Amino acid sequence: MPIPENYAKAIEALQATLSPDSVTTDAGVLTKHSQTFGVSKGLGHTVVVFPKTTEDVVNIVNISRENRMPICAYGGGTSLEGHATFSDTGGISLDVSRMDQILEIHVEDGDLVCQPGIQWVKINEILNEKGIPLFFPLDPGIGATIGGMISTGCSGTNAVKYGTARGEWFINATIVLPSGEVIKTRRRARKCSAGFDTLSLFIGAEGTLGIVTEVTIRLTPLLPTRVAVANFPDVGHASKASIEALNCGVSLQCVELLDKYSMAGLNSYNQTMRQWPEKDSLFFKIQGATQVFIEESARILKEVVERNGGSAFEFAATEKEADDLWLARKTAPMAGLALHPGARAMITDVCVPLSALPQLMTNIRKDLDASGLPAYTLAHAGDGNMHALILYRNEDEEKVVHDLVNQLAQYALELDGTCTGEHGIGVGKKKYLVNELGSSTVELMKQIKQTLDPLNLFSPGKLYPDYAKSSY
C-alpha cells in the first residue's frame, strides 16, 4: 500500500537525516539503479540513498514506513531477474555500496565480519593480499555483493564442493526488519542448535523481508587447484561421467559442462588462444594440497572419463596451464554475446536432479534449434544447474525468447526440478512458483511476508506470485 503523494515528504526526511551526498534524485543514477546489464525490467526509482551504517538503514526504513514509500536494496546490480527494479510503485533504492568494509577477520576461527556492500571477489583479494590462506567460496557473477548473495540465495561454479548460500557459509547477519527493529540472527560459533535459524528466512527472500547490514561469513582453506578437460560423444555420456566423478573420492571443486554449441562459440570468438573440438565437453577443477594429491586425482579422473566414453582428456599440470584451460569456461558465457554484436541476451537458469540433465538439455536444444535464434547452453553439471543464453534483436524475437524461457521452466518442473537454481525469482519467474512449490507452500511464504512486512513496502512486486490467496 504505497502512497506516492507522500514520496516528496519522504525524500525531504531522507535529506534531513542522511549526509547531503547520501541522497540523490539524479536521473542518471536512478536509471542505473533500475537496470540489469543495461536492460530495465520495471519502472525506475524515485530516489537513491547511500547509507553507511546500520543506524542509517534503520532511519531510512523508518522514513519509508512512515511515508508508505517502498524500499528496495541494491547491491552489485548483477542479478538477472529484475530484482533491482520497482514494478509500478517507484520508491527508495537503498544502495549499500558505501557499506563495503571488512570489520573483523578471525583467522583461527575461519570467519570474518563484513558489511553487505562488499563484493566476494574483493574479500578474496584482501585475504590474498594479507597472506591469509583462506577464501570465501561462493562465486556468483563478478561484482556480486555479500548482501545480494544472501538475498538471491546464490551459488556458482564452486557449488559442487562448497554448496550454496543456503548452506552454512553465512554464520550470522544483522538485519533491519520492515518494522525498523534490528536483529542479529545468532552468534559466531560454527554450529548452533538454538532454535530455527532466522537468517535462513532472508536467504533467497530477495530483500522482501529485511535488509542485511552486517554479516559473519565462514571461510575455508585456499588450496592449489588444477584443471582437466575432456570431450564426450553426447551430453548423456558427459553427464554420467560427471556423476561418477562426483563419487570417485577426488576433491572436485567444479564440474562444468559446455555443450558443442558453446565450444563452437569459443572457437569463433577465438579469445582462448586455441581451437577446441566442437563436442560436448566437461571442465573439471580439482583440488590438491600437494603434488601427490593432484597426480592421484588426475589419474583417477582420467579413468572415470574414459570409462564413460570420454576422450582427449587433457590435464593442466601447472597453475599457469590450469588458468589457461579454465579461461575457456570463463569466456564461454560472453562468447555468444560477443559473436552477435548489437543483439540482446536473455540469460536464464533452471536446475534438475543430476540424472535428468541430459533429458533437459536435449529437450530445450530442439526448441532452440527450431526457433532459429542463436543460443548457447552450459551447465554446472555437478549440480544439475543449466544456463541458457539466447540472443534476440527485436520485439518479435523477444517474444520467442520468452516462450523458450517458459518452455525451459516447464521442462525443469516436469523433471522434478526448479525454475531457477541460482538466479532467483524476481519479477519474471513469479508465475512458475505455485506450480513449482504448490499453493500451500507459497501461501506459507506469503504469511511470513505478511507477518514481517504488513505494509508490503520491502521490494514489492518481487518473488510472491500475484494471483494466490493472500494480499501479496
Q: Which of residues 95-124 bind a second copy (CB under 8 A)?
A: 106, 108-111
Please pick, from the candidates 128, 271, 355, 470, the single residue that binds a second copy as defined by CB under 8 A: 355
Q: Does 285 bind a second copy (CB under 8 A)?
A: no
Q: Does 225 bind a second copy (CB under 8 A)?
A: no
CA atoms within 13 A of residue 164's CA, in its CB half-sphere = 19
Q: Does 290 bind a second copy (CB under 8 A)?
A: yes
Give the range of 246-254, 274-282, 339-347, 369-377 binding a second copy by CB under 8 A: 246-254
Site for a second copy in 427-446 (CB under 8 A): 429, 432-433, 436-438, 440-441, 443-445
Nearest to 159 by CA among 382, 419, 465, 435: 382
Please pick, from the candidates 229, 246, 316, 381, the single residue that binds a second copy as defined by CB under 8 A: 246
Site for a second copy in 60-79 (CB under 8 A): none
CA separation for the pair 111, 220 (Å, rounded) = 8
470 DSSP assignment: S
How is residue 181 written as a grid cell? Answer: 527493529
Q: Are 417 and 356 in contact (CB under 8 A)?
A: yes
Axis crossing angle, helix 395-414 with helix 357-371, rounded to the nearest 10: 160
163 DSSP assignment: -
Rounded to 5 degrees, what are φ and ψ at 220? Answer: -140, 155
Site for a second copy in 128-157 (CB under 8 A): 133-134, 152-155
Radius of gyration of the chain (CA): 23
Q: Considering the complex, what minimum distance in angstroms separates the CB of residue 413 from a second copy?
A: 7
Q: Considering the complex, what minimum distance in angstroms separates the CB of residue 12 from a second copy?
A: 29
Please pick, from the candidates 247, 273, 394, 395, the single residue that binds a second copy as defined by CB under 8 A: 247
CA separation for the pair 464, 204 (Å, rounded) = 12
Collapsed DSSP state (helix, strand, coil) of residue 286 = strand
CA separation for the pair 55, 53 (Å, rounded) = 5
CA separation for the pair 207, 463 (Å, rounded) = 9
Q: Does 223 bind a second copy (CB under 8 A)?
A: yes
Please pick, from the candidates 36, 115, 164, 456, the single residue that binds a second copy as defined by CB under 8 A: 164
Please pick, from the candidates 4, 143, 163, 277, the single residue that binds a second copy as defined by CB under 8 A: 163
CA separation for the pair 275, 266 (Å, rounded) = 8
Collapsed DSSP state (helix, strand, coil) of residue 111 = strand
Q: Does 58 bind a second copy (CB under 8 A)?
A: no
Q: Does 304 bind a second copy (CB under 8 A)?
A: no
One character per residue 321-350, x = contact with a second copy (rule: CB under 8 A): ------------------------------
Q: Considering the complex, what minimum distance in angstroms separates the CB of residue 442 from a second copy?
A: 8
Rounded to 5 degrees, what are φ and ψ at 420? Answer: -155, 125
Q: Does 453 bind a second copy (CB under 8 A)?
A: no
Q: Does 352 bind a second copy (CB under 8 A)?
A: yes
Nearest to 237 by CA among 415, 381, 411: 381
Q: Considering the complex, what minimum distance in angstroms separates the CB of residue 424 from a second copy?
A: 5
Give the range of 60-68, 304-312, 333-341, 420-428 binding a second copy by CB under 8 A: 420-428
Site for a second copy in 182-201 (CB under 8 A): 182-198, 200-201
What distances in angstroms separate CA 386 from CA 118, 272, 361, 460, one per listed residue?
Answer: 27, 23, 8, 28
Q: Does 468 bind a second copy (CB under 8 A)?
A: no
Q: DSSP assignment of 11-53, as one string?
A: HHHHHHHS-GGGEE--HHHHHHTTEETTEE-SB--SEEE---S
Q: Does 469 bind a second copy (CB under 8 A)?
A: no
How is residue 413 written as a grid cell? Answer: 518442473
Q: Does 289 bind a second copy (CB under 8 A)?
A: yes
Give the range of 36-44, 59-67, 88-96, 290-298 binding a second copy by CB under 8 A: 290-298
Rank residues 122 and 184 by Cβ distance to a second copy and give the closer one: 184
Q: Does 249 bind a second copy (CB under 8 A)?
A: yes
Q: Does 167 bind a second copy (CB under 8 A)?
A: yes
Q: Does 471 bind a second copy (CB under 8 A)?
A: no
How is residue 255 written as a grid cell? Answer: 564440474
What number of chain residues touch a second copy (CB under 8 A)?
101
How is residue 471 written as a grid cell? Answer: 494480499
